[in-house]
Amino acid sequence: MFYFRGCGRWVAVSFTKQQFPLARLSSDSAAPRTPHFDVIVIGGGHAGTEAATAAARCGSRTLLLTHRVDTIGQMSCNPSFGGIGKGHLMREVDALDGLCSRICDQSGVHYKVLNRRKGPAVWGLRAQIDRKLYKQNMQKEILNTPLLTVQEGAVEDLILTEPEPEHTGKCRVSGVVLGWSAMA
């Protein structure tokens, strides 16, 4: 049984297989002396891994929920980072000590400046990446990040709080409902 705490409330989920088809994370249980998570990130893609490692680096106990741990860091059929638009984004992520820039440095096989014949305003850095090496390095980094726990699971639904009277329609997420299929 894991317990998560967020905004002063406890969120609990049991990862043992029961007769119920869904595990429900709710905020109605108290759990002293039980590990809790300050941040829960759903999805182990590029954005999810960046968000989870950033939260863990800031000192938050973080849970990363993903369908399959072995697909973390999996790249598309065109394994490149950068270009005209994404190159700027990569430099911003790198300036904030982002993960994908560091993993690209470790896994790169070819680096190129695009549009070099034009002016510097349209130059774009692009790195071709070894897909297997990138995936291996990303998983190694994610699974060895302090304060970060990775768990397989499929989020089926969100549990929302009641809307505040002065802000109709504005709810806060207080938990998630996990499907058992990915954890069985």
Q: Is residue 157 part of a domain?
A: yes
- The average pLDDT across 82-106 equals 85
Q: Say if residue 8's pLDDT is above 80.
A: no
Q: Is residue 169 part of a domain?
A: yes
133 vs 180, higher pLDDT: 133
Check residue 180 and give its pLDDT: 63
Task: Of 58, 72, 48, 92, give the one whose Cα is nearest residue 143.
Answer: 72
Q: Is the dihedral of CA 149, 50, 71, 132 positive or negative?
A: negative
Query: H helices then E strands: how many in the chain?
Result: 4, 11
| CATH (domain of 95) | 3.50.50.60
Q: Which domain holds residue 47?
A: 35-178
List pLDDT tens digits, range 131-165: 999 999 999 999 999 999 999 988 888 888 888 88
Check residue 170 and give its pLDDT: 85
Q: Say how many domains are in the chain.
A: 1
For residue 27, the Cα-to-chain-centroid distance in whole angstroms is: 22
Tokens standing for 105?
């440095």
Q: Is residue 2 part of a domain?
A: no
Question: Are 1 and 34 spatial neighbours (Cβ–Cβ below 8 Å)?
Answer: yes
List pLDDT tens digits, range 59-74: 999 999 999 999 998 9
Q: Does an H or E element contain 161, and which?
A: none
Q: Which of 119-128, 139-148, 163-172 has the highest mean pLDDT?
A: 139-148
Check residue 117 and give its pLDDT: 92
Q: Which of 32-36, 51-55, 112-116, 164-168 has the highest mean pLDDT?
A: 51-55
Q: Is residue 170 part of a domain?
A: yes
List pLDDT tens digits, range 71-85: 998 988 778 888 887
